[in-house]
Structure 1
């Protein structure tokens, strides 16, 4: 398995664990198309990098713990996608672009980030086309 697939699974797992209610190990394994032992390994990895993975109820459902200070208003997936599309028209050297991208990352959930990894190539094409139009090329 290539590293990109593993990374995409980690982001997908984060996205699934941030959604309530939590998911069982079997549900996570099915969603990620991996075996249950691998789900446990990914959960351990998330804990090692600082996520608080918690569980509750019968059957045991897993989720990423967030206290009240972490539940500040965040951009929805649709809002994040709209902002990213709007930003694709700007030159990569625009002085405000890096700051906006950083704030967008910090103010949004990881769900759009995980989904956006798959869409990275098309956004690069749009960015190149926008640059060509500006340069009348």
Structure 2
């Protein structure tokens, strides 16, 4: 857990230092809630990773420019490692440094990575991570539910984060159900010194690109051709789709190919941008859309 927190703080510090103005050591230590000595160690690590760290006449620091222009984009293997890196030490893995160097400049995965770079969301992730390690309950304060359209507190037993920390899978005590909670919709986390008591009921189901499990609706295989505008809107609203989209050769269009567990989000998207999206498959999904028209 200490290594996970260290990685999180380094990523937060990199993001913080990329924005002007330059920051003092004291200001940075306050931002990541750590000592000035720790900040100096993190700055040394950031320099070792290849970032251009500048210090002005007032001994304030700023990251200028990007990394090497020739650095290639993320490979699938590196994307997989990124998840493991944030969940474990990854201390001796040779891919670790290249991942940290590329994440901000060379891949659209950075869209999802921003979830853990935001200082407020970073603190929420840290609190929940500690509760998972200690097997304690937490209260998700003023959670904004998109389904019920309510804002209320949720007493849960946190189980695990989804990829890139966009959601937390947790067992909700009141409903006795395993649910996924969007990290951005959590106002704060109240840590409780109360042990989890329903571990036998905990279950982590894989989720699709829209955050639904196989029990949340009707499963479809889909393939869509997106215009540039549709592509940009969709990836901003649902960044988990990014690994499943490829640009067509010599064209300004994009292909989305994936399986979904609930057709509601993509159906709404298609109907709202019907002139920007072509449905290529599957036959079952085409029939589903025809029923909605």
TM-score range, shorter chain: 0.5 to 0.7
The alignment status of 1:122 with 2:121, answered yes or no, reads no
Larger Rg: 2
Counterpart residue number, 1:134: 218
Quote how far apart the aligned CAs of 1:114 are.
2.6
Secondary structure class of the residue paired with 1:34: coil
Quote how far apart the aligned CAs of 1:57 are.
3.3
Distance 2:53 2:167 in 1: 33
The alignment status of 1:61 with 2:60, answered yes or no, reads yes
Given the two structures, how large is their TM-score scaled by the length of structure 2?
Answer: 0.30
Distance 1:104 1:65 in 2: 20
Distance 2:112 2:52 in 1: 15
Quote how far apart the aligned CAs of 1:29 are.
0.7
Where does structure 1 lack aligned partners over 5 or more consecutive residues?
Answer: 71-101
Equivalent residue pairs, number = 103
Distance 2:32 2:49 in 1: 20
Q: Which has the higher contact order (CA 8 A, sep 6+)?
A: 1
Quote how far apart the aligned CAs of 1:15 are.
1.2
Equivalent positions of 1:1-137 (< 5 A) are 2-58=2-58, 60-66=59-65, 103-105=107-109, 111-112=114-115, 114-115=117-118, 118=125, 120=165, 122=167, 125=180, 127=207, 130-132=212-214, 133-135=217-219
Quote how far apart the aligned CAs of 1:41 are.
0.6
CA gap of 1:46–1:109, structure 2 versus 1, over 3 A, is: farther
Given the two structures, how large is their TM-score scaled by the length of structure 1?
Answer: 0.58
Identify, as 1 or 2, the structure richer in strand: 2
Distance 1:44 1:27 in 2: 17
Distance 1:66 1:121 in 2: 28
Quote how far apart the aligned CAs of 1:50 are.
0.9
Distance 1:11 1:49 in 2: 12
Quote how far apart the aligned CAs of 1:27 are.
0.2
Secondary structure class of the residue paired with 2:108: helix
Secondary structure class of the residue paired with 1:130: coil
Distance 2:165 2:45 in 1: 25
Contact 1:15-1:110 at 8 Å conserved across structures: no
User: How big is each residue's C-alpha offset from its partner over 1:77-125, in whole Å with a ceiling of 9 and x where there is no partner?
Assistant: xxxxxxxxxxxxxxxxxxxxxxxxx84136x596445347737161673
Q: What is the Cα-based RMSD across aligned positions, in Å?
A: 3.5
User: How big is each residue's C-alpha offset from its partner over 1:56-83, in whole Å with a ceiling of 9 and x where there is no partner?
Assistant: 132x21011216x98xxxxxxxxxxxxx
